């Protein structure tokens, strides 16, 4: 930032308008701001700071307190500062809140009115219209924010880096790590490193949570197993394995005895089934022989029904003929009824036609036609009358308007004086309300920032709750996947055990007498193995194995999803904590929450409306006198317009009277004539439509009567033909009955069956014959199967088989129970091994991530965070540059360095400064430096910071440095060294301004801004 021009009006000791043109100074010059005590040297720096930030250089006085007591009360306090940033030029204007004399008497009787604070920021554009200055902002808070963005500093940082205020030059030197960190973060833009350390912290928290979850799972498994360690659980498994081997031998012997008993029972059951079959065959034969007489009766009924089917065609022909004759008779009767009704219609139509052709109806139609023609002839005259009346009304309105304009013009002159007084009173009422617009804008900005922070926090909390819910859901999914995997494993192991047990029965199923056994080779098979349950297949065993594989994959996926959800929850919680801290910080040191945004917006809107209305009122006040002159001219014009309108009105009235005489009074209105014409046309149309309807009705009745007579002749002929066909069909039906042997029609009707019933009866008789033959054959075969055999004792054999099965089930039950215990132990051991592998993986990750997070967040023995570590490296560069100047100014005695040791573990560390004293060879705090030494160190630090920031940042430009006092504390030699440092900085293209009373500096610096003190205020003079 390079200053170009500063204008101070009624500011501090400057009573009038003082302009300081920095462009008159040599480029990159070292200049002195000199003058007697109290003349206003520091006020120049106050003016620069006030223009940029609305504050003073020391920060101890507000801008409103800088009002000059020497200034004319009517002159407003204003500051204007023009500066350059690289190739761009900017201009900022500020008017602090102040009071001025009231232009008119106020209602409260006060002689002073408050003027609100105003600010404006402009950027120079040579291509723009006018003077080239393009407005960027016109609100105080927005101007301050935009200046902060352009310069890269807030007001407090500006006073520590660019401007060293009087009595505060050691502020940056003696600041703590926390305060110095804020300045360096702004200058070097290291917020990205803060985000890295926060992300590492969140990752470490997620890993720690996963490790705790795994530990709890291991403890639960051991408690469920009733042991203290995995080794004790493995010892239990070895004991169970030994017991299972003994039970397997008992199972083998029990299965052999069970197989022998079941084989004997199976052979006995097969023989007993043959005896049961012989008894069932005899019973079936006896049942069929009892049904034989009924079958014969059904055969006779089938023969008679088949004869009746032969008569069926003649029967159907007779039924059709009778139905046709009946339909013809009904049609003749219905047509006779229609003929009577049609005769009545024809008579009525002839009477209606005669009525319409009567003489009175003909005369009525002619009269209606003449009335329509008469009314149509009056249409043009009525239209001319209407136009004349419209013209008369228009002229009457013009005359009335002219009269009103004349009256209004006469009142305007009287109203102008009253209006001017009202405007003055309104202006004085609006000024206090519009004065607080800048303060309200700043409060609204703070409230909006607080509200956005609160909304961001609420959104992040919802996001965190969503991750937490997802984590709980994934925990449930993981538990379900674990249970499903365990069930699949148990099902597979049970099926595998059953499959192995059933292998002997499967081999025995394929044994045949005389064929060798595939296991022992024996041709005799006295007791083949048996298995009563359903034998498991290879496909079922494979499906169970695949189910186990799928369940294990699902469990692995659920575990991965749960770990991801846990990490997301931890990261989201860290974001919530950070946002909560930021929200607490935005509330202020006293914890007060900003006012409601809606309320502040309403207040600001009201103040803005008042300001707009105030400007409009002032503009209206300036135009009142011009309005009075215009009112007199308008009065003359109004009188002439009244005279002209009266004359034209009389002429138009005479034309209207002449045209009214030519039209009957009831028909003068166009609407009345239109209604009469419409009524006449409707009357004519009604009479003509009645004649047309009577003619159409008569023609239609005559036509329908002729058609009806023709239809009667056709139906009489059809009736005679149907009667003949009915008699012929009756003769054919009687002949068919006689030919088939039926005595009469009722006998035929009793014998008649539907074709489907005949087919069903024939099929039933055929099935009876087939079943009778099959029963005879079944009885023959059953008697041959038991020839020479005795029926076995199944009760005794079943009791023996049951005893052997019970013995086997006892052995299998105990064996299954021991296997379940072993499987449970194996499952727990597998889970413990899995948890151990997971814990090892988490610990390996945490060794890296947790270590990095701890170091990045300050747990490194030096209380130094990652961002502060980066800032420490940048500060080291600044201190190296500063030490070069401090060593020269202190004649080789002092160097500035950063203190590595942590003095207080509760405070931020890593950016504290100390000075190395070459005389003692020891480092000591910078606070131990004397006043002159502290000034040299502060000056060196400011110069070093200027060099390094310019080299690193590129965007933050430190082209100018102002120093207010402090040189008087230096001895001549130190002063000479400080001057050399300033000259060196100036030779590098930097502008350096110094305020000092030291005579040696006045002698060495020939470029100066002299502040001349006077009784009526100070003045400024540039000496280049």
List the one residue out of 130, 186, 120, 194 whose CA is nearest residue 153. 186
Same domain, 228 and 141: no
Same domain, 203 and 130: no
Same domain, 146 and 204: no
For residue 905, how far is the Cα from the chain centroid? Answer: 45
Position 522 confidence tier, pLDDT thresholds 50, 70, 90: low
Same domain, 823 and 770: yes
List the one residue out of 488, 477, 486 whose CA is nearest residue 557. 477
Last residue of a domain, one of 152, 167, 183: 152
Same domain, 134 and 12: yes
Q: How many domains would you assign to the chain?
A: 2
Backbone torsions φ then ψ of 1010, nearest 5 degrees: -90, 130
Last residue of a domain, one of 857, 872, 897: 857
CA 905/CA 464 separation, integer angstroms: 32
Asked if residue 171 lies in contact with residue 182, where contact means CB atoms within 8 angstroms, the answer is: no
Same domain, 26 and 142: yes
Per-residue pLDDT for 840 more than 60? Answer: yes
Which strands form 163-164's sheet, in the order they lie side by side? 163-164, 960-964, 991-995, 30-34, 1008-1012, 1019-1023
Asked if residue 78 lies in contact with residue 94, where contact means CB atoms within 8 angstroms, the answer is: yes
**pLDDT (0 to 100) of residue 5:** 93
Residue range 126-151: mean pLDDT, rounded: 88
Within 10 angstroms of residue 689's Cβ, the number of other Cβ atoms is 10
Same domain, 247 and 115: no
List the one residue out of 966, 959, 962, 967 whose CA is nearest residue 1003. 967
CA 600/CA 449 separation, integer angstroms: 13
Last residue of a domain, one of 806, 824, 857: 857
List the one residue out of 276, 275, 272, 279 whose CA is nearest residue 794. 272
Per-residue pLDDT for 465 more than 60? Answer: yes
Residue 508 lies inside a defined structural domain of this protein: no
Backbone torsions φ then ψ of 94, nearest 5 degrees: -140, 140
Q: How many residues does the chain have?
A: 1024
Residue 565 lies inside a defined structural domain of this protein: no
Q: Which residues contact 567 (CB under 8 A, 6 or more apart)?
A: 203, 206, 207, 210
Residue range 577-593: mean pLDDT, rounded: 60
Within 10 angstroms of residue 31's Cβ, the number of other Cβ atoms is 21
Same domain, 44 and 147: yes
DSSP 517: P
Same domain, 109 and 225: no
Residue 665 lies inside a defined structural domain of this protein: no
Residue 350 lies inside a defined structural domain of this protein: no
Residue 181 lies inside a defined structural domain of this protein: no
The β-bridge relationship of strands 2-11 and 78-85 is antiparallel
**CATH number of the domain bearing residue 92:** 3.40.50.300
Within 10 angstroms of residue 902's Cβ, the number of other Cβ atoms is 18
**Residue ranges making up the domain that contains 80:** 2-152
Asked if residue 410 lies in contact with residue 635, where contact means CB atoms within 8 angstroms, the answer is: yes
Per-residue pLDDT for 519 more than 70? Answer: no
Supply 841's token pair.
């993986």
The β-bridge relationship of strands 78-85 and 1008-1012 is unpaired
Supply 843's token pair.
């610990």
Per-residue pLDDT for 773 more than 70? Answer: yes
CA 747/CA 741 separation, integer angstroms: 10
Supply 689's token pair.
């439509």
Same domain, 41 and 111: yes
CA 704/CA 850 separation, integer angstroms: 110
Which strands form 118-124's sheet, in the order they lie side by side? 14-21, 2-11, 78-85, 88-95, 118-124, 133-137
Asked if residue 881 lies in contact with residue 943, where contact means CB atoms within 8 angstroms, the answer is: yes
Per-residue pLDDT for 955 more than 50? Answer: no
47-59 residue pLDDT tens: 998 999 888 765 5
Q: Which residues contact 770 (CB under 8 A, 6 or more apart)?
A: none
Residue 439 lies inside a defined structural domain of this protein: no
641-682 residue pLDDT tens: 777 778 777 777 777 777 777 777 777 677 777 787 788 778
List the one residue out of 216, 242, 240 whose CA is nearest residue 824. 240
DSSP H helical ranges for 357-436: 359-377, 379-435
Backbone φ/ψ region at 550: left (φ over 0), alpha (ψ -120 to 50), beta: alpha
User: Helices 931-952 and 866-889 sit at what angle, rounded to 10 degrees?
Assistant: 120
331-378 residue pLDDT tens: 878 877 777 777 777 788 788 778 877 778 778 777 877 777 777 777
**pLDDT (0 to 100) of residue 7:** 94
Same domain, 129 and 21: yes
**pLDDT (0 to 100) of residue 990:** 74
Q: What does the DSSP assignment read for 651-684?
A: HHHHHHHHHHHTS-GGG-SHHHHHHHHHHHHHHH
Percent of the chain having pLDDT more than 90?
Answer: 5
**pLDDT (0 to 100) of residue 601:** 83
Residue 586 lies inside a defined structural domain of this protein: no
Position 954 confidence tier, pLDDT thresholds 50, 70, 90: very low
Indicate yes or no: pTM above 0.95. Answer: no
Rg of the chain in Å (alpha carbons): 61
**CATH number of the domain bearing residue 266:** 1.10.287
CA 136/CA 394 separation, integer angstroms: 55
Same domain, 131 and 268: no
List the one residue out of 548, 555, 572, 546 whose CA is nearest residue 470. 572
Residue 822 lies inside a defined structural domain of this protein: yes
């Amino acid at each position: 930032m390079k200053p170009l021009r500063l204008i101070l009006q009624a500011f501090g000791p400057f009573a009038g308008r003082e302009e300081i043109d920095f462009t008159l100074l040599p480029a990159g010059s070292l200049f002195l701001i000199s003058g007697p005590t109290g003349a206003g040297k520091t006020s120049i720096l106050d003016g620069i700071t006030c223009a940029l930030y609305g504050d003073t250089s020391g920060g101890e006085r507000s801008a409103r307190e800088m009002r000059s007591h020497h200034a004319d009360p009517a002159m407003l306090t204003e500051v204007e500062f023009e500066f350059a940033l690289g190739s761009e030029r900017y201009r900022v204007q500020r008017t602090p809140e102040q009071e001025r004399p009231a232009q008119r008497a106020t209602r409260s009787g006060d002689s002073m009115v408050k003027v609100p604070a105003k600010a404006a920021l402009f950027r120079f554009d040579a291509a723009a219209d006018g003077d080239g200055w393009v407005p960027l902002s016109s609100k105080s808070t927005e101007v301050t924010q935009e200046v902060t963005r352009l310069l890269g500093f807030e007001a407090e940082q500006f006073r520590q880096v660019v401007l060293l205020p009087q009595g505060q030059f050691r502020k940056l030197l003696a600041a703590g790590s926390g305060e110095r960190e804020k300045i360096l973060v702004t200058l070097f833009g290291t917020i990205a490193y803060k985000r890295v350390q926060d992300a590492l912290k969140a990752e470490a928290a997620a890993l720690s949570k996963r490790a705790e979850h795994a530990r709890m799972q291991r403890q639960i498994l051991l408690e469920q197993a009733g042991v203290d360690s995995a080794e004790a659980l493995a010892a239990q498994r070895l004991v169970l394995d030994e017991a299972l081997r003994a039970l397997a031998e008992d199972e083998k012997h029990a299965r052999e005895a069970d197989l022998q008993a079941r084989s004997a029972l199976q052979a006995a059951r097969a023989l007993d089934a043959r005896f049961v079959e012989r008894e069932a065959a005899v019973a079936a034969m006896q049942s069929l022989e009892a049904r034989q007489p009924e079958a014969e009766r059904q055969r006779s009924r089938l023969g008679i029904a088949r004869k009746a089917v032969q008569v069926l065609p003649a029967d159907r022909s007779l039924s059709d003929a009778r139905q046709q004759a009946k339909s013809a008779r009904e049609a003749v009767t219905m047509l006779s009824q229609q003929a009577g009704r049609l005769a009545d219609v024809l008579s009525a139509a002839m009477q209606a036609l005669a009525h319409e052709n009567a003489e009175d109806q003909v005369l009525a139609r002619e009269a209606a036609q003449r009335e329509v023609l008469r009314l149509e002839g009056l249409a043009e005259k009525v239209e001319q009358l209407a136009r004349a009346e419209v013209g008369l009304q228009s002229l009457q309105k013009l005359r009335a308007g002219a009269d009103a304009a004349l009256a209004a013009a006469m009142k305007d002159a009287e109203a102008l004086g009253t209006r001017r007084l009202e405007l003055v009173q309104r202006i004085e009422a609006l000024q206090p309300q519009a004065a607080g617009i800048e303060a309200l804008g700043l409060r609204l900005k703070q409230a909006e920032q607080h509200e956005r922070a609160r909304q961001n926090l609420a959104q992040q909390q919802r996001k965190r709750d969503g991750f937490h819910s997802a984590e709980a859901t994934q925990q449930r999914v993981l538990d379900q996947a674990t249970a499903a995997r365990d069930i699949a494993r148990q099902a597979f192991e049970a099926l595998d055990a059953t499959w192995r047990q059933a292998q002997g029965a499967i081999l025995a199923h394929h044994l045949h007498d005389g064929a060798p056994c595939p296991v022992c080779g024996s041709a005799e098979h006295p007791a083949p193995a048996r298995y009563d349950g359903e034998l498991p297949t290879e496909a079922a065993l494979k499906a169970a194995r695949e189910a186990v594989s799928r369940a294990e994959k699902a469990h692995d996926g659920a575990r991965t999803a749960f770990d991801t959800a846990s990490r997301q929850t931890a990261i989201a919680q860290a974001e919530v904590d950070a946002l909560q801290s930021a929200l607490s910080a935005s509330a202020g040191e006293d914890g007060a929450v900003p006012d409601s945004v809606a309320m502040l917006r309403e207040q600001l809107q009201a103040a803005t409306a008042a300001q707009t209305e105030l400007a409009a009122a002032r503009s209206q006040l300036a135009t009142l006198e011009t309005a009075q002159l215009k009112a007199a001219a308008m009065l003359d014009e109004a009188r002439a317009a009244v005279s002209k309108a009266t004359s034209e009105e009389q002429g138009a009235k005479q034309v209207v009277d002449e045209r009214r005489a030519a039209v009957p009074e009831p028909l003068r209105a166009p609407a009345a004539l239109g209604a009469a014409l419409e009524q006449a046309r409707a009357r004519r149309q009604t009479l003509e439509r009645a004649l047309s309807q009577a003619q159409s009705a008569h023609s239609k009745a005559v036509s329908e009567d002729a058609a009806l007579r023709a239809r009667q002749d056709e139906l009489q002929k059809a009736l005679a033909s149907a009667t003949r066909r009915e008699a012929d069909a009756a003769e054919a039906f009687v002949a068919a009955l006689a030919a088939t042997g039926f005595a009469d029609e009722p006998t035929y009707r009793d014998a008649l069956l539907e074709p489907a019933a005949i087919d069903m009866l024939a099929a039933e008789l055929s099935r009876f014959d087939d079943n009778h033959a099959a029963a005879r054959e079944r009885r023959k075969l059953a008697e041959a199967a038991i020839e020479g055999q005795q029926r076995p004792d199944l009760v005794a054999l079943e009791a023996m088989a049951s005893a052997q099965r019970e013995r086997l089930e006892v052995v299998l039950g105990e064996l299954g129970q021991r296997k379940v215990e072993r499987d449970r132990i194996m499952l727990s051991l597998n889970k413990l091994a899995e948890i151990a592998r997971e814990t090892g993986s988490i610990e390996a990750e945490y060794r890296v991530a947790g270590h990095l997070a701890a170091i990045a967040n300050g747990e490194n023995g030096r209380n130094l965070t990652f961002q502060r570590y980066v800032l420490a490296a940048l500060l080291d560069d600044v201190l190296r540059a500063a030490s070069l100047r401090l060593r020269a100014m202190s004649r080789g005695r002092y160097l500035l360095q950063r203190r590595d040791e942590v003095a207080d573990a509760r405070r931020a560390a890593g950016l504290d400064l100390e000075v190395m004293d070459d005389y003692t060879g020891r480092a000591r705090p910078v606070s131990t430096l004397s006043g002159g030494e502290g000034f040299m160190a502060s000056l060196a630090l400011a110069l070093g910071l200027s060099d390094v920031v310019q080299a690193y940042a590129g965007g933050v430009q430190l082209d100018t440095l102002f120093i207010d006092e402090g040189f008087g504390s230096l001895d001549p030699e130190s002063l000479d060294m400080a001057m050399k440092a300033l000259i060196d900085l100036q030779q590098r293209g930097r502008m350096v301004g110094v305020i000092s009373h030291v005579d040696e500096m006045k002698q060495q610096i020939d470029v100066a801004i002299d502040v001349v003190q006077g009784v009526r205020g100070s003045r400024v003079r540039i000496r280049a």
